[in-house]
Amino acid sequence: MAYVVTENCIKCKYTDCVDVCPVDCFHEGPNFLVIDPDECIDCTLCVAECPANAIYAEDDVPKDQLQFIALNAELAKQWKVIVEKKDAPADADEWLNVKDKLQLLKR
């Protein structure tokens, strides 16, 4: 069971989770992070580090976020690995907890 980054990360893209990942399973897109399910070792370290509370165990992803399981797997194949924390976007806090952001995801 892998961990999954969900909608609340869109346009927030805090990277605190990246710093604690022991296997470098995070991949970075323009305004979102994903976890490669094939690389994730289910260590749970990233969950507590996510300021957006956007990371869930695959079995615990909220029903309205289930599409993010496949989206993480798909985009992890397209995006580059990120291994170091970066500054969040300047407006990240404004986007925190905004609902229905999927249409804002940049691929």
Query: pLDDT exceeding 70 applies to what percent of the chain?
Result: 100
Tell me if 4 sits within 8 A of 69, measured CB to CB: yes
The predicted pLDDT at position 76 comes to 98
Binning pLDDT at 50, 70 and 90, where does residue 18 land? very high
> Distance (Å, rounded) from C-alpha 107 to C-alpha 95?
18
> Distance (Å, rounded) from C-alpha 73 to C-alpha 15?
19
Phi, psi of 59 (to 5 degrees): -75, -15
Binning pLDDT at 50, 70 and 90, where does residue 1 land? confident
The predicted pLDDT at position 28 comes to 98
pLDDT tens, 20-65? 999 999 999 999 999 999 999 999 999 999 999 999 999 999 999 9
Average predicted confidence (pLDDT) for the chain: 97
